[in-house]
Chains A and B, each alone.
Chain A
């Protein structure tokens, strides 16, 4: 449908995936373990990261492999242990700290956004905070308004933290490796629905090929998850899975959907967004975070600023500005479901 010339998005060099498959959770754990082997300054800390192995299996097996001095269960004292992570990072350690649910940021946000995020700037670049704060995000399993939020837009709004949000095992390992090696503080948000957990309604796309050796997925680079010429879906995390499902379905009707997996929210890969939307001229942003004042608006602003008058369609499929409801039918009516994504794409190409 589009007559605009195809702009090839520059992809970073990343290794071949190979034949071995892992779940996203296992890929994350492998990345952490490899960095712990490589660098004795790396340690893991958080609630239930030890014997339990992380409520969403983000640290399974690490206690057995590295012992309780490097895989540390904490009290339910998020302000204290996240602040402790900051201090340890300032002194040259490389903590990987888990905040059990992203929703819990409320009890410890001062350490995160006034300290972890600002120390490097306030010190004129003289003090580094090489820390990873990982946390589970997302809903879809009736966990209610205090355990189902994504909130990456909230973290991204506050300068000084990188924010990465993988959608699959390959990126999960590569982004975790990059995050641990980064000298900046990195928020690493994993949606529970991409972890490949049997008890969490496993999506087939949460199992995938992962290189055995350590590698980095560059922070700040989006990925073309599916090439297409008619409409661009710009999305991230579990919504990538849904968008790809929709794209495959619509391909049989001749609707050619491009899916951009942002992978990182901060820094946002604006070039990738503009390249894709410049090609298709139709943009659907799919985001499981709240709709207003967040990522979806930022993506649209990016496209609009770069392509004035060049857009034939802009819309977003996000959570309308409502706390996440408990009852399943209510929750699924506000989540960016495949049905809502499909409807938005159809509307985009009809216009």
Chain B
């Protein structure tokens, strides 16, 4: 892709830096999540209870999108939202606090890790597959009506592309030329169901043709190709040319959720070798713009940021059970 030449060395290092930051966050959450769930795994126990869907392996998607968005652009994410939230600029301390169920969290402990809402950066997510797509249309409409060039990016998994909400959203966005970028994260697995058993076409990008919009598939979890594809889609949206669909073949490095033994997964052995971070690290090292020292430094900086956020979360107050009924309505208390 010729567009890649537009990436400066700094841009490329920033892509890797974002990927490392995300991975560091996910590894920290992984550690905290399992810290007090042994010897028997009890999903409801510990400082971080509940389902936990981590995005290790999918960092390139988030980094490639985030690089093109600025303050005011919107993003809707999925049940696996951390990487996207970080790349979109969601306050990491407040996000960590939400994951720990604290009063200082994005949702004051009411939402949890699948329900992160940060209005300051127009970020939201849904725990229901594909259901984050339709609201992105509305955000895009609002941006359009306000006369801005802001865009809404709607992210979903490859399994979501088989739901009605996906198809309805593409049609409507195309019909109304809404400034939306649809990004499908194809990590090969809808929990235990392989893509081959769920999807009738080899690439969801071809589905874009049904709605008269551009469709692109990016292979190999290649962050620079993602960056290029999203860049073109965002440009189109900002220019009033309407929506685009991008599918990225990415990687679910870990289970669908923590506690998933992945007994159904025949491809596990090859998974570590497909980790996008060492791959991109080597790519930049070979290109002569990164050395081991700089990479180590990147990791240390990420670690400092993440651990500070985790520490903030853990030291934050828990919500008062007496306030459980607050925030149902804007009055702030149940009537």
Contact = CB atoms under 8 A, between A and B. Distances in A.
Interface of A: 47-48, 50-52, 55, 73-80, 103-104, 106-107, 140-147, 198-201, 320-323, 325-330, 332-334
Nearest to B323: A330
A73 B43 contact: no
Contact of A142 (B40, B44, B102, B164): B44
Contacts of B14: none
A307 to B, nearest CB: 30
Given A51-B264, A76-B163, A321-B334, 15 more contacts: A47-B193, A52-B192, A76-B130, A107-B129, A107-B131, A107-B163, A141-B44, A144-B115, A147-B114, A323-B328, A330-B101, A332-B321, A333-B322, A333-B324, A334-B324
B119 interface: no
Interface string B8-48: 00000000000000000000000000000000111111000
A330 B49 contact: no
B101 A201 contact: no
Which 10 residue pairs of A and B lie closest in terms of their CB atoms, listed nearest first?
A: A326-B112, A141-B44, A327-B101, A142-B50, A327-B109, A142-B49, A333-B321, A52-B192, A51-B264, A75-B162
B263 A326 contact: no
B72 interface: no
Nearest to A77: B162
A142 B101 contact: yes
Given A144-B114, A326-B50, A198 B159 contact: no
Interface in B116-131: 126-131
Contact of A144 (B50, B163, B193, B259): B50
B190 interface: yes
B111 A144 contact: yes
B115 A322 contact: no
A107 B42 CA distance: 29
A311 B192 CA distance: 52
11 contacts: A47-B190, A48-B192, A106-B131, A143-B112, A146-B126, A323-B328, A326-B50, A326-B107, A326-B111, A330-B324, A332-B321
Given A50-B192, A52-B264, A144-B50, A330 B109 contact: yes
Contacts of B325: 320, 322, 334
B39 to A, nearest CB: 11
B124 to A, nearest CB: 13
Contacts of B71: none
B193 A73 contact: yes
A290 to B, nearest CB: 11
A103 B325 CA distance: 20
A138 to B, nearest CB: 12
Contact of B110 (A75, A106, A201, A326): A326
The secondary structure that dominates the B interface is loop
Contacts of B199: 75
A146 B164 contact: no
Question: Of A78, A107, A141, A327, which is in contact with the most chain B CB atoms at under 10 Å from its CB?
Answer: A327
Contacts of A330: 101, 109-110, 319, 321, 323-324
Interface residues of B, number: 51
B275 interface: no
A73 B197 contact: yes
Contacts of A55: 191
The secondary structure that dominates the A interface is loop
A73 B115 contact: no
B148 interface: no
Given A106-B128, A200-B44, A327-B102, A145 B115 contact: yes
B76 to A, nearest CB: 14
B284 interface: no
B293 to A, nearest CB: 41
B318 interface: yes
A143 B50 contact: yes
Contacts of A77: 162-164
Contacts of A326: 50, 98, 101, 107, 109-112, 115
Contacts of B40: 198-199
Interface in B316-335: 318-319, 321-325, 328, 334
B193 A140 contact: no
Contacts of B42: 198-201
A199 B50 contact: no
Contacts of A200: 42-44
A76 B319 CA distance: 35
Nearest to A147: B127
Contacts of A329: 101, 318-319, 321
Interface in B174-202: 190-193, 197-199
B120 to A, nearest CB: 20
Question: Of B111, B162, B193, which is in contact with the most chain A CB atoms at under 10 Å from its CB?
Answer: B193
A147 B42 CA distance: 17
A50 B323 CA distance: 42
A75 B159 contact: yes
Nearest to B322: A333
A198 B321 CA distance: 27
A224 B198 CA distance: 45
B165 interface: yes
B160 interface: yes
B91 interface: no
A146 B163 contact: no
Contacts of B323: 330
A51 B109 CA distance: 35
Contact of B192 (A51, A325, A327, A328): A51
Contacts of B197: 73, 75
